[in-house]
Amino acid sequence: MNVLLVSPNIETLPDPVFPIGMACISAALKEKRIPVQMLDLCFSSDYEADITTTLGAYDPDVIGISLRNVDNVSYPQYISYLPFYRKIVDLIRKQCSAVIVVGGSGFTLLPEAILNFLEADYGVAGEGESSFVGLVADLEASRAPEKRILHPGLEATDLDALPFADREGIDGLAYQTKGGMGNIQTKRGCPFTCIYCTYPLIEGKRVRMRDPDKICDEMEQLSAEGIRNLFIVDNEFNFPPEHALAVCRRMAARKIRMRWGCYANPAFITDELVSAMKACGCTGLEFGCDSAHPQVLKNLGKNFSVEDMLSAASVCRGHKLPFCISLLLGGPGETMQTVRQTLETVRDMNPTAVICMAGVRIFPQTRMYHIALEEGVIDAGTDFLKPVFYLSPDVQDTIMPFLAEFALENPTWIFPGLQININENLQKKLRRFGIRGPLWEYMKMGSRLRGRCWCRNKGARGTAVNSEW
């Protein structure tokens, strides 16, 4: 039974993202000797022609479509990817009779709604290595599954028993050439309790770690393929901190030469860990802080304090390690006073860059969903396929124009929801300079390239800045 895996993610801002989820499924299929081919549409100039050519040459029996994201979770200028996904499904239906299965992190968030919207045959929610392989085996044996949506039941306990992601069918160097990076995962699972977070829904709450030597083996494999920039896609690389430290020490001992970055939690940043990270090639950390106000942090379910944030920033500055802070304003209890305090506190930390968003994307099965339901922001019949955001009533009429004005004096701050400092034009300029890796690491360079000549244009709820990031 021939399987074709398709990645329809064509988003390239801020960076194109290698479809590691699809690559993991392909590896699991190959381990079971199931014929499989991958089609990555990220850099396709004519996706219809590419799909037509692939279907004609390969003749698959099962087609798995990996959905990384539902939308870009940016308020107010959001983009939904679902209409494009539907075009892909419709195109496939017109040309072949293969069974269509959808999965991936995006699908897992709204499985029933997405399956119905796309009119696919089956869906796999959560980790797919076991479930998808099992579904293919059932279909080959003419055993129709009882349910259209399959869940893994238990997540993979031993990640070291899984094969490395299969990158043979994807042009990994294209991601590096066009500004992206290779990627790797050192663990799965998120034990934290952020009220809006979907990681526990996708990967489960139990943290399962890979052996540091196995991680280094895969890194060396990537290096041999020419990948020089890497992003560790764990929800928080530095938790548990002892595992992160062990990975860094093994990378240093094995002399792995790669530039890499990761997401990090400020509560687990130490001088020892940052020193070890920088020594083995780390070029930047991204802290998902969301706020710098004690009560708002508590409301958001964060496990760290403002003091932890200040300490983490100090450690990074001490080691001259670039760091980015992500903010998510407008959650429960947010006021313009707490917004101003957050912005002032974060600015004083002197981060390399800040990614600032307002409005919390609501997904079912999160605590944010129940809060929004209690406050009447949503009801039981709300359609979440269209992005639905929570914005505190105390800031909903004033925060967007306030942020647009704030951006005028803060050129290293990125505002995705207002399209400020996030634009393909300057991205392409920086890439032509040979810059690779996360663009936020070069925000100060971008600021110099832009100079102080701002081009104003009308943005959502006020005048925004188009600084072409």
Same domain, 179 and 107: no
Q: Mean pLDDT over residues 438-463, rounded?
A: 47
Q: Is residue 451 assigned to a domain?
A: no
**Is there a domain that residue 378 lies in?**
yes
Q: What is the pLDDT of residues 403-414, one digit of tens each?
A: 999 999 998 999
Domain boundary among 346, 377, 396: 396
Q: Is residue 155 one of the residues assigned to a domain?
A: no
**Exposure string over 157-182, b if 16+ CB within 10 A, otherwise e:** eebeebeebbbeebebeebbebbbbb
Q: Is residue 106 part of a domain?
A: yes
Residue 175 and residue 146 share a domain: no
Question: Residue 426 above 70 pLDDT?
Answer: no
pLDDT of residue 442: 65
Question: Do both 79 and 191 map to the same domain?
Answer: no
- Alpha-helix runs per DSSP H in 110-210: 111-118, 129-140, 172-177, 199-203
Q: Is 129 left (phi over 0), alpha (psi -120 to 50) or beta?
A: alpha
The residues near 397 (Cβ < 8 Å, ≥ 6 apart) are: none
Say what the pLDDT of residue 218 is. Answer: 97
Same domain, 242 and 104: no
Final residue of a structural domain among 116, 150, 184: 150
The DSSP bridge pattern shows strands 187-188 and 462-466 to be: unpaired
Same-domain status, 175 and 72: no
Q: Which of 318, 412, 409, 415 is nearest to 359 (CA)?
A: 415
Q: Do 196 and 120 lie in a common domain? A: no
CA 261 to chain centre: 13
Q: Domain total for the chain?
A: 2
Q: What is the pLDDT of residue 144?
A: 78
Q: Judge if 189 and 118 occupy the same domain.
A: no
Q: Letter for the amino acid at 359?
A: G
Q: Which amino acid is at 150?
A: L
Question: What backbone phi and psi angles, to 5 degrees, belong to 115?
Answer: -60, -45
* 111, 25: one domain: yes
Q: How far apart are the first and last CA of the chain?
A: 46
Q: Compute the distance between CA of residue 376 and CA of residue 401 in angstroms, rounded to an integer.
A: 25
Residues 232, 126: one domain? Answer: no
DSSP-derived 3-state class of residue 140:
helix
pLDDT, tens digit, for every residue of 346-377? 999 999 999 999 999 999 999 999 999 999 99
The reported pTM is: 0.90
Q: Is 69 helix (H, G, I), strand (E, B) or coil?
A: coil
- Structure token digits, residue 245: 């430290």
User: What tens digit of pLDDT does each residue of 95-144 get?
Assistant: 999 999 999 999 999 999 999 999 999 999 999 999 999 999 999 999 87
Radius of gyration of the chain (CA): 22
Q: What is the CATH number of the domain that holds 145?
A: 3.40.50.280
The CATH number covering residue 246 comes to 3.80.30.20
Among the listed residues 156, 220, 168, 210, the one whose alpha carbon sits nearest the alpha carbon of residue 187: 210
**pLDDT tens-digit map of 286-340:** 999 999 999 999 999 999 999 999 999 999 999 999 999 999 999 999 999 999 9
Q: Which two tokens stand for residue 299?
A: 């409301």
Residues 182 and 112 in one domain: no
> With the C-alpha atoms ordered 431, 435, 438, 443, is the resulting torsion angle positive or negative?
negative
Could you read off the pLDDT of 44-71 as tens digits, one per residue? 999 999 999 999 999 999 999 999 999 9
Q: Would residue 54 count as lying in a domain? A: yes
Residue 415 inside a domain? The answer is no
- Using the 3D structure, point to which of 396, 423, 444 is the last residue of a domain: 396
Is residue 435, in this structure, part of any structural domain at all? no
Same domain, 217 and 319: yes
* Residue 455 domain-assigned (yes or no): no
**What gap in Å lies between CA 249 and CA 394, rounded to an integer?**
47
CA 36, CA 1: separation in Å to the nearest integer?
9
**pLDDT tens for each residue of 257-275:** 999 999 999 999 999 999 9
CA distances 319 to 275, 316, 326, Å, are 7, 5, 20
Same domain, 349 and 206: yes
Structure tokens at 423: 């634009």
Q: Residue 97's domain spans which residues?
A: 3-150
Judge contact between 26 and 166, C-beta under 8 A: yes
